[in-house]
Amino acid sequence: MENYTNPEQSGQEQNPQDLLNASLIFARALGLILNEGEGIVVDINGDVILGDDVNKVIVFKKDEQVHIFKFEEDLPEGTAVSLNPPTEEQTEEVK
């Protein structure tokens, strides 16, 4: 089986197109897993450089696309979040 995430293991050098392909495949997979308005909190631990003030992001699906936004709330990594406003039924359950 061909390994598309670490092509250097098969004697090839990794190039920018390999990284782009892997990113697009992962984004597509997340888009299939997440429902509209659902997301997950991800810690940025030096793996990715988004700016000195970015420690967490939320990866979520909106308008059939996966988005990544800075997240400033104090929720643990891996927390599932909903960006959809509560329905009338859900609001009544809380009362």
The rounded Cα 24 to chain-centroid distance in angstroms is 12
**3-class secondary structure per residue, 53-79:** CCCEEEEEEECCEEEEEECCCCCCCCC
Q: What is the mean pLDDT of residues 35-53?
A: 86
Give the largest CA-CA distance in the chain: 61
Could you give the CA distance from residue 73 to residue 79 in angstroms, rounded to a whole number?
A: 11
**pLDDT band with cut points at 50, 70 and 90 for residue 53:** confident
Which tens digit of pLDDT belongs to each residue from 7-27?
Answer: 566 666 677 888 888 889 999
Could you give the CA distance from residue 62 to residue 84 in angstroms, rounded to a whole number?
A: 10
Percent of the chain with pLDDT over 70: 74
Q: What is the mean pLDDT of residues 40-49?
A: 84
> Which residue carries 């997950």 as its tokens?
40
Q: What is the mean pLDDT of residues 51-55?
A: 85
Domain boundaries, the chain: 7-94
Task: Quote the pLDDT of residue 95.
Answer: 47
